[in-house]
Chain A
């Protein structure tokens, strides 16, 4: 089945720093999602991004579908950005999401 790999597995940032999280996937997909799981366990949709670039405030994401990777950019990080960031893809058109193992981000003041 499809493999979804995220890097780095862990990241510690000083508040105000910028970071880039990466998601590689092993097969063609027609969608990709980024999620943030906050320290309380809630999973929050960040982006649906099968291709191209999207921005939402301090976060932006870029997916290069032909090269099978996606990047999540966090600028001017804040302590509230801490948590685990997952990317997930549906292996085929109509199948549930396959998740990467996540990047655990800790932003310290």
Chain B
């Protein structure tokens, strides 16, 4: 059974600081997704990482994937209040149907002024 673990689950940080959210998964996969969810809202796709060593950046967020370590990171640079949200990673099983995602528990990020 594929397990996806995120840490930390709760993160409170000050504006302007940097931090990293980690996502570990238990079985082989070559696709990893990061989503953002604001309170009471739906999930918004942030990044899709498709291969070992993949790195993607959008604004103050940068995601990377190490398939050998089964680890993805979401790095936040110079955080701003607008980044406050819950961030989920999700891993696709390597199976013939190719579509099933298993989500981590989510990291609730609060950026304080």
Asked if A and B bind, the verdict is: no
